[in-house]
């Protein structure tokens, strides 16, 4: 070992030498005595001296840019989230915190996890959900199913409904927002959407399901499928979605934290369509973490005391 490593901990030395190897594997080979310094077993906190001879067992090192395989816990979690499958489609009740696909700092999204879990299956994403959005996510198992459903989506011939918790009370129990949306990329790569007359036509129907002292549980039905459509349309109404750190109200979000809200309160509850002479209707119950928030919210009656 070179003298410039004198005094370095063996675990830190191995991290530098075994680039691309997960730290969990490095600590495993240390704990099991597979790493030796001058012929003796090394402990994770052992420190090296100039001239030490370090023996490292054969370890598979990822190539530059290669993503290590997902953990077993993640693949099992996504496997447990499957709510329907046939020869054409596989449907998830996607947990929040898992992206639809990898990229932008995310190693494994739902599609990569399912491909790892089912390496013999052919799976393609039909549509996407934001990472913090839970609920129905549809994947295709055959090319014809993929292209057929994507055409229905482009033609706005599907039914997509979401549950969201909006700030305050809507002026009417049912109302629609029909304003165009335009997508832009800010410096640094952040994607933002805003109401803009030069944008694409966008239509959302809102229906109040339940009222609370601070907020309303609302069903949002999409007539179009623009990026961040519900989030921006609710912001345009003056009733942004709870937990939205991009389009929401920071003070409102802060008020909901003691009630257990830790993420965007948006859940894809229903996705329906007709294809090939068959009718499909996929539904996912409100995610348990969001249901717990509702259980802790004071009812609307308290606001009138």
Where in the sequence numbering do the catalytic residues fall? 130
Question: Cα(17)–Cα(54) distance, rounded to whole angstroms?
Answer: 11
Give just the sign of the alpha carbon dihedral 30, 33, 36, 42: positive
276: nearest Cα among 147, 155, 160: 147
Q: 19: alpha, beta or left, given left = phi > 0 and alpha = psi -120 to 50? A: beta
* Tokens linked to 227: 């990026």
Strand pairing category for 181-185 and 191-195: antiparallel
Distances (CA, A) of 132 to 33, 80, 129, 200, 246: 41, 18, 8, 24, 12
Question: Cα(12)–Cα(202) distance, rounded to whole angstroms?
Answer: 53
Distances (CA, A) of 262 to 92, 203, 245, 255: 22, 28, 11, 12
Residue keyed to tokens 């993503």: 67
166: nearest Cα among 222, 230, 239, 236: 239
């Amino acid at each position: 070992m070179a003298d410039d490593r004198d005094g370095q901990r063996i675990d830190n030395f191995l991290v530098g030498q075994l680039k691309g190897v997960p730290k969990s594997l490095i600590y495993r080979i240390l704990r099991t005595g597979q790493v030796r310094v001058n012929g003796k077993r090394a402990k994770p906190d052992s420190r090296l001296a100039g001239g030490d001879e370090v023996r490292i067992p054969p370890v598979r090192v990822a190539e530059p840019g290669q993503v290590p395989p997902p953990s077993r816990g993640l693949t099992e979690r996504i496997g447990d989230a499957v709510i329907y499958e046939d020869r054409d489609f596989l449907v998830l009740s996607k947990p929040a915190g898992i992206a639809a696909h990898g990229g932008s700092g995310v190693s494994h999204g739902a599609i990569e996890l399912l491909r790892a879990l089912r390496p013999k299956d052919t799976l393609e994403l039909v549509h996407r959900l934001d990472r913090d959005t839970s609920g129905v996510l549809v994947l295709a198992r055959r090319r014809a199913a993929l292209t057929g459903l994507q055409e229905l989506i482009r033609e706005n011939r599907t039914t997509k409904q979401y549950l969201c918790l909006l700030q305050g009370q809507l002026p009417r129990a049912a109302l629609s927002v029909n304003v165009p949306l335009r997508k832009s990329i800010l410096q640094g790569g952040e994607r933002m959407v805003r109401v803009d007359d030069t944008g694409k036509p966008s239509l959302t129907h809102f229906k109040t399901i339940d009222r609370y002292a601070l907020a309303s549980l609302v069903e949002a039905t999409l007539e179009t499928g623009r990026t961040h459509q519900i989030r921006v349309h609710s912001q345009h109404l003056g009733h942004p979605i709870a937990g939205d750190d991009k389009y929401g109200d920071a003070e409102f979000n802060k008020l909901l934290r003691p009630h257990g809200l830790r993420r965007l309160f948006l859940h894809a509850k229903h996705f329906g369509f007709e294809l090939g002479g068959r009718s499909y209707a996929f539904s996912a119950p409100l995610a348990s973490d969001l249901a717990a928030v509702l259980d802790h919210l004071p009812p609307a009656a308290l606001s009138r005391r």
